[in-house]
Amino acid sequence: MDVAFHIPVFEIAGGTAAIAGELARIGTAAEAAGATWLSVQDHYFQMDLTGLPPESPMLEGYTTLGFLAAHTSIIRLGLLVTGVTYRHPGLLAKIVSTLDVLSGGRAVFGIGAAWFEREHRGLGVPFPSTSERFERLEETLLICAQMWDPQRDGPFHGKHYRLAETICAPQPIHRPEVLIAGGGERKTLRLVARYGDACNLVGTSPEEVAHKLDVLRRHCDEVGRDYDEIRTTIVPVNPRPTPDTRDEFVRAMADYAEIGVHEAVVIPRGDSPAAWIDAMAPCVPRLAELG
């Protein structure tokens, strides 16, 4: 099992002026640990889920990834995950391809239907209905696939988006892996089966994740997709990993590995995330032994 690190909080020891230096140290620590992926979130207000108020520090995601690209050399970089409502899909495809080119082919394209209504309303971003957001998500996936195919630079005509041309030059060095986040059984997992290279689920329990994967497998069968082509990732929340509970965490991840989970996306805690990653690093080779 691989390990990734996800950074959702920017309450850094030393305050705002210390954020950039800590991010650079995070990149160094994640690569030294052997992590396969480093992500930040696509939000402009802090989420209630972190236990912090919306006024807490938050960085724009793709700008942050550009900074991390310059301070890392091998780890893959992406958002967990891009909110489909925040950027026009033609521009989004260009943003992700730029990250891929400037990072030497390390971009991951994480995307979801978006959900944080307060953030949208606060910043004046339209927040369509759930059904429309999923329609826009599917069209965005189609547009990105078209823009990352140099043989298909013609128009795109969808219900919500119309592009006269889909030129994207330079093309990504490596077509970014498409990771679709969420466990919705009727819509999200269907989109994973049709368009995703990877999925991301909340690791509440092996039983719940196994159920979601069974649903994904059925969607794959319906569309003629090889289920084994899809990489499964989870954000473990039961148990939540800490340096003090590394052994318990490794034992718990063995149960997830048995049901086919390929990667655990771990969230550092505290105001010194680079040091937290250093403390968790011994878990990485142990999880790799799980297969």
Residue owning tokens 């640990």? 33
Strands 231-236 and 2-7: unpaired
Report domain 2-289's class: alpha beta
**Segments of the chain scoring below 70 in pLDDT:** none
The pLDDT score that the predictor gives to residue 291 is 75
The pLDDT score that the predictor gives to residue 238 is 84
The pLDDT score that the predictor gives to residue 168 is 98
The pLDDT score that the predictor gives to residue 86 is 98
Nearest in space to 68 (alpha carbons), one of 11, 118, 7, 154: 7
Q: Are 69 and 103 in contact (CB under 8 A)?
A: yes
The pLDDT score that the predictor gives to residue 239 is 83
The pLDDT score that the predictor gives to residue 49 is 86
Q: Are 128 and 85 in contact (CB under 8 A)?
A: yes
Here the contacts of 140-143 (C-beta below 8 Å, separation 24 or greater) are 140/84, 140/89, 140/92, 140/111, 141/111, 141/178, 141/180, 141/191, 141/195, 142/195, 143/89, 143/90, 143/93
- pTM here is 0.97
DSSP string, 18-45: GHHHHHHHHHHHHHHHT-SEEEE---SS
Give pLDDT tens digits for 31-63: 999 999 999 999 999 998 899 999 999 999 999
Identify the bridge partners of residue 39 per DSSP, sorted by sequence position.
6, 78
The pLDDT score that the predictor gives to residue 159 is 98
Domain ranges of the chain: 2-289
